[in-house]
Structure 1
Amino acid sequence: MKFVALRGKAAALLVIGAIALSACTKVSTPAESPAATTSSTLQAVLQRGTLRVGDCLTFAPFGFYDKDGQPDGYDVDLAKELAKQMGVKLEVVNTTSANRIPNLQTSKVDVVFCNFTRNLERAKVIEFTSPYVVASEALLVKKSSGIQSVKDMTNRTIATVKGSTNGDEVRSLNMQVKIQEYDSSQAAILAVKQGQADAMIEDNNFLAYQAKLDPELTVTNEALVPLEYNAFGVKAGDQAWLNYLNLFLFNINASKVNAQLYKKWFGVDPRFPLNPQF
């Protein structure tokens, strides 16, 4: 009997200890979980009813203003498709290469579609989706210039756009060339047309479109850098929004909608695969 009494006392002490421990240990409820307290851009867009897409509207055919002053282009069509599938209105925010990241960080836009090349330096401060378009780079020159490739650019001037990676790529060639930066792609193209620059370096698909518009221009037949994988840019730390956009891209690639839009604007099928085999 004495042994039984001790067992009962020990049990009582264990119960008291458990109650005390539970009083000191806070257990998260569903409403207090990190997922519930973290505000996602996805939920903000759905509640607002408007998707704000940062797009470079001086970068035809990716983005530009049509004759009625409305945003148009390949990236704009993709943004329209995203807004449609989300069931919200679309607001296109004109963006430059230089303010793509600041606009994301200050929440002026929800996502950036703007010929955004993924690289490790940018990935330190923002996040990227899976790629949606792939390109290499070449030079846009006047046909009368005699320039056939970058090898002909010694002691000449190459136009680049502020905030882009193109200036670094030119420097990596270790050539005696002058780099002149411009605020927009259209300004850099105009510099070539007016003789202020001998060439402009940019994505080959963008340059092909520009040469199509002006018979006095041509694009060098070369790939100056390894393939560039362009993606949507999003604010860092928003995994729910990133997951949603990646699923959107998977769906429009699987359904061939992305390939159809590419052909609509560039006149050819996409040249490079989005998911290369290593």
Structure 2
Amino acid sequence: MPTRRLFCAATAAALAGCATGPAAPPAAAVSELGSTGKLRAAINYGNPILAARGDDGQPRGVSVDLARQAARRLGLPVELVTFTSAGNTVEAIKARQVDLAFVAIDPVRAADMEYTAPYVVIEGAYLVRNGSALQRNEEVDRAGTRIAVGRGSAYDLYLTREVKNASLVRVPTSPQVVDDFLAQNLDVAAGVKQQLEMDARRVGGVRLLPGRFMVINQAMGVPKGRTAAQAWLSAYIEEMKASGFVAEALRRHRIEGAAVAPPGRAA
């Protein structure tokens, strides 16, 4: 065959290969993520960056988009299992009631799940009353200061390790933090910055302290030991970041204050 024809044939074959799209997931990953014949994805309404209830009552948000796209790649139907708190979401992963969750990376949780690298980075912030003497994040950890936190949230776990003098008052879910902070006359409310900003507009008479007290890395997680699922999801989430899928989802759902995480490896 002439050289030109060989070159054209090779080029056509390469283009045909590109047109096939992403490689099929390994059978082991499909088996681990679809052990019940479907992908059961935990969706946490307690974090407005990740998910919210739409006008039609259905879940919407970047985590929903990622779960649906993963299910399509796996060739599985998706079941969105909704929760009101990160704590309940983590318990569902531990009990293997779901196959995939969207959670903040934390060393405590690593005992019960396998993580991907983060896909979104958000901030933890403090909220106080307008008349509070507190002006900076560094002033919060003082004896007598009572901080409202969502039980089992990433910032609950972080502050449990870091706070030395103040005390934590745990409330059932993150969306309840500001209401309980006011009802119990607590000194500080801790939470995801965007949730606190929404609550501040809703209740009035409160303000956020400048900056942040922590960075929250949001990742995908699967039950401990499901390493084939973790490996495939790790590659999947890196592709979703690099392709612009995550950034576009944040724009589409009008999420501000969250950033696409840089390329990285699982924790």
TM-score normalized by the length of structure 1: 0.70
SS of aligned partner of 1:52: strand
The separation in 1 between residues aligned to 2:161 and 2:33, in whole angstroms, is 41
Tell me the equivalent position of 2:42. Answer: 54
2:136 to 139, 142, 149: 149
Judged with a 3 Å threshold, the aligned counterparts in structure 2 of structure 1 residues 255 and 145 are, in CA distance, closer, same or farther, namely same
Tell me the equivalent position of 2:99. Answer: 110
Preserved contact between residue 73 and residue 265 of structure 1 (Cα < 8 Å)? no
* C-alpha displacement of 1:231: 1.2
The separation in 1 between residues aligned to 2:94 and 2:260, in whole angstroms, is 33
2:189 to 200, 217, 224: 200
The separation in 1 between residues aligned to 2:190 and 2:207, in whole angstroms, is 12
Tell me the equivalent position of 2:109. Answer: 122
SS of aligned partner of 2:81: strand
Counterpart mapping for 1:1-278 below 5 A: 40=28, 42-43=30-31, 45-46=33-34, 48-95=36-83, 96-113=85-102, 115-119=103-107, 121-145=108-132, 147-153=134-140, 154=142, 155-174=144-163, 176-194=165-183, 196-211=185-200, 216-225=205-214, 227-263=215-251, 264-267=253-256, 270=259, 273-275=262-264
The separation in 1 between residues aligned to 2:184 and 2:168, in whole angstroms, is 14
Write the deviation string for residues 178-236 of structure 1: whole angstroms up to 9, x where unpaired. 311011011112223446333222233544454466665443222323x3322111112
In structure 1, give the amino acid aligned to 2:105. Answer: T
Write the deviation string for residues 12-68 of structure 1: whole angstroms up to 9, x where unpaired. xxxxxxxxxxxxxxxxxxxxxxxxxxx946225557552111122232232232333
The separation in 2 between residues aligned to 1:168 and 1:103, in whole angstroms, is 17
Preserved contact between residue 209 and residue 266 of structure 1 (Cα < 8 Å)? no
The separation in 2 between residues aligned to 1:173 and 1:242, in whole angstroms, is 29
The separation in 1 between residues aligned to 2:130 and 2:68, in whole angstroms, is 37
Write the deviation string for residues 226-275 of structure 1: whole angstroms up to 9, x where unpaired. x3322111112222211221121021111111112223342356176354
In structure 2, give the amino acid aligned to 1:270. Answer: A
The separation in 2 between residues aligned to 1:81 and 1:74, in whole angstroms, is 11
Tell me the equivalent position of 2:24. Answer: none
Judged with a 3 Å threshold, the aligned counterparts in structure 2 of structure 1 residues 45 and 65 are, in CA distance, closer, same or farther, namely same
Preserved contact between residue 139 and residue 220 of structure 1 (Cα < 8 Å)? yes
The separation in 2 between residues aligned to 1:266 and 1:193, in whole angstroms, is 26
Preserved contact between residue 34 and residue 76 of structure 2 (Cα < 8 Å)? yes
* C-alpha displacement of 1:110: 0.4
The separation in 2 between residues aligned to 1:68 and 1:196, in whole angstroms, is 36
Write the deviation string for residues 141-182 of structure 1: whole angstroms up to 9, x where unpaired. 344545432344443321111123434533555554231101
Work out the percentage of aligned pairs sharing the same amino acid.
Answer: 22
The separation in 2 between residues aligned to 1:201 and 1:258, in whole angstroms, is 26
List alignment gaps of at least 5 residues for structure 1: 1-38
Judged with a 3 Å threshold, the aligned counterparts in structure 2 of structure 1 residues 272 and 204 are, in CA distance, closer, same or farther, namely farther
Deviating more after overlay: 207-216 vs 69-78:
207-216
SS of aligned partner of 1:266: coil
In structure 2, give the amino acid aligned to 1:89. Answer: P
Tell me the equivalent position of 1:5. Answer: none
Tell me the equivalent position of 2:5. Answer: none
In structure 2, give the amino acid aligned to 1:56. Answer: N
Deviating more after overlay: 153-162 vs 203-212:
203-212
Judged with a 3 Å threshold, the aligned counterparts in structure 2 of structure 1 residues 216 and 60 are, in CA distance, closer, same or farther, namely farther
In structure 2, give the amino acid aligned to 1:66. Answer: G
Tell me the equivalent position of 1:27. Answer: none
Bigger relative contact order (CA 8 A; separation at least 6): 2
The separation in 1 between residues aligned to 2:32 and 2:205, in whole angstroms, is 47
In structure 2, give the amino acid aligned to 1:139. Answer: Y
Judged with a 3 Å threshold, the aligned counterparts in structure 2 of structure 1 residues 231 and 159 are, in CA distance, closer, same or farther, namely same
How many aligned residue pairs are there? Answer: 235
* C-alpha displacement of 1:111: 0.8
SS of aligned partner of 1:109: coil
